[in-house]
Amino acid sequence: MTKTKFVYNEATCAYEPVIPDTKSRIFKALAYLLGATLVAAGMLFGYYRYNPTPKEELLKSERARLDMHWQLLQHEVKLINHTLAELARDDHELREILELKDLPEEIRTAGIGGDQLLNDLQQQNLKFEELIVDTYKKIDKVKAQLTIQGLSLDTLAKYARERDRYWAHIPAIQPVDHEDLRRFSPIYGMRFNPVLKKWMPHKGLDFMGRPGVPIYATGDGVVVLARMTSGGFGNLVEIDHGYGYRTRYAHLNKTKPFNVKVGDRVKRGQVIGYMGTTGRSAGVHLHYEVLKDGVQVNPMGYFQLDLDTESYHKLLKLAKENTQPLDY
């Protein structure tokens, strides 16, 4: 109920109601509305200060999700860098094994590119610009390092395959099985020929055994000669191994000398012929030579490391028992 305001009228000696004019009524209404608005605004401010709006809740949830993804991204970058470091160590060790120079550090670490894209990002006035640009730089650098590391590993793989091929082709095993070996002559170089009564070069090693003992190729290669010769070697097989290496296998068996022919590709350990005593020979044996760039070298260094301790000691014993080659 609206309260009525009264004033005392001395003329009439009575209380009379005060009737406000229109201006007063409007001012009073406005004051009431303003007060109500202020109270309502204060109440709303207080409520939403401690109770976010649905939109704010959605944005807050989205921000939390983005923060989580950001942290995961940073973690992934760290893991990739760790993996890159391990690859670099493996790469370095492989280069040492293969006797290759290491990659220069400035190439391995890789400078970053993408300057134009970085400039574009910086001109967009993005929020958290520093974090975004810094992460982009890290990712860009990782991509460059991965590319370089991949190229390096490809190079190492190709070089390793070539080294495997090289090791497969050089003479590296004994041409006669130890089980078939009866005697061995280690004489290499000048020696006195007891038949011709003069000093002559002996540019190979002699392996003695029974007639028909298998003779093995000491490395991969191509047969370039397999026939009877007139120079004292008798039945002779010669293999070109590439890389400047050739091997000769002389005095092979008369009735069954060859197991290969010219042009055949042979593998290390493949039977190429059989032991005999053709040519200028004082007994059944194999005369074995290794040539490097057309010059005979001592074959001992090309199979000695391939022997186990027991076989090596047997070879030494056989060498002591026989000090003369069987070629003349």
Tens-level pLDDT at each residue, the chain (328 residues):
556 676 666 677 776 676 767 777 777 777 777 777 777 777 777 766 666 677 777 777 777 776 776 777 777 778 777 777 777 787 777 777 666 777 777 666 665 444 544 455 445 554 555 666 677 677 777 777 777 777 777 777 777 777 778 888 889 888 998 787 777 666 666 666 655 666 667 688 888 889 999 999 999 999 999 999 987 889 999 999 999 999 999 999 988 889 999 999 999 989 999 999 998 887 898 999 999 999 988 887 777 545 555 655 555 555 455 555 555 5
| 121 within a domain of the structure (yes/no) | yes
| 287 within a domain of the structure (yes/no) | yes
CA dist., res. 32 & res. 225, Å (int): 122
| pLDDT for position 238 | 96
| 327 within a domain of the structure (yes/no) | no
| 111 within a domain of the structure (yes/no) | yes
Q: Please indicate, yes or no, whether residues 201 and 154 belong to a single structural domain of this protein.
A: no
CATH number of the domain where residue 255 is located:
2.70.70.10
Q: Please indicate, yes or no, whether residues 45 and 84 belong to a single structural domain of this protein.
A: no
| 210 within a domain of the structure (yes/no) | yes
| 283 within a domain of the structure (yes/no) | yes
Q: Which domain holds residue 247?
A: 178-321
CA dist., res. 229 & res. 166, Å (int): 30
Q: Please indicate, yes or no, whether residues 46 and 69 belong to a single structural domain of this protein.
A: no
Structural contact between residues 108 and 141, judged by C-beta atoms closer than 8 angstroms: no
Place of tokens 């590439």: 242
Q: Please indicate, yes or no, whether residues 272 and 191 belong to a single structural domain of this protein.
A: yes
Q: Please indicate, yes or no, whether residues 222 and 299 belong to a single structural domain of this protein.
A: yes
| pLDDT for position 110 | 61
Q: Please indicate, yes or no, whether residues 147 and 232 belong to a single structural domain of this protein.
A: no
The structural domain count of the chain equals 3
Q: Please indicate, yes or no, whether residues 134 and 212 belong to a single structural domain of this protein.
A: no
Q: Please indicate, yes or no, whether residues 165 and 188 belong to a single structural domain of this protein.
A: no
CA dist., res. 220 & res. 238, Å (int): 12
Place of tokens 């070539």: 162
- Helix (H, G, I), strand (E, B), or coil: what is residue 219? coil
Q: Please indicate, yes or no, whether residues 182 and 316 belong to a single structural domain of this protein.
A: yes
| pLDDT for position 121 | 47
| pLDDT for position 8 | 66
| 326 within a domain of the structure (yes/no) | no
Q: Please indicate, yes or no, whether residues 187 and 263 belong to a single structural domain of this protein.
A: yes
Q: Please indicate, yes or no, whether residues 245 and 285 belong to a single structural domain of this protein.
A: yes
Q: Please indicate, yes or no, whether residues 20 and 116 belong to a single structural domain of this protein.
A: no
| 328 within a domain of the structure (yes/no) | no
Q: Which of 320, 315, 233 shows the shortest CA–CA distance to 277?
A: 233
- Helix (H, G, I), strand (E, B), or coil: what is residue 189? strand
End position of a domain, from candidates 139, 169, 199: 169
Tokens of 325: 């080659």
pTM of the model: 0.55
